[in-house]
Amino acid sequence: MINLERGLPPSDLVIVVDVSVATAFDREEVRDVYEANRDFLEKVRDAYLALAEKFGWVIVDGEKTKGEVAEEIWAHVSPIA
């Protein structure tokens, strides 16, 4: 059971799928107020990449095809399962 006063249990694995803002805009037609702001998205992307570096999270190249991204994610998840 999770006790929210003590925090969540530590993660076994965190995966960040990194996609450039340009690619995200090419892939998605409908955007909310935050997703429409390119500068904001660049800052969010930079923040997640910095967190990944700091905490040793896995970064997957989201510029690849869906199949390649899925394969890379499963390569990291399979040893845990």
Look at residue 31 in the predicted model and tell me its pLDDT.
Answer: 72
Average of per-residue pLDDT values in the chain: 87
Residue 3 falls within a domain, yes or no?
no
**pLDDT at residue number 70:** 96
Q: Give the pLDDT confidence score for residue 28 in this predicted structure.
A: 75
In a domain, 32, yes or no: yes
Range of the domain at 38: 15-77
Does 26 reside within a domain? yes
Query: Quick check: is 10 in a domain?
Result: no
Residue 80 pLDDT: 63
Give SS3 for 73: helix
Residue 7 lies in a domain: no
Any domain includes 6 = no
Residues of the chain with pLDDT under 70: 1-5, 79-81
Assess if residue 36 is contained within a domain: yes
For position 62, what pLDDT does the model report? Answer: 96
Number of domains in the chain: 1
Residue 58 belongs to a domain? yes
| pTM tops 0.85, yes or no | no
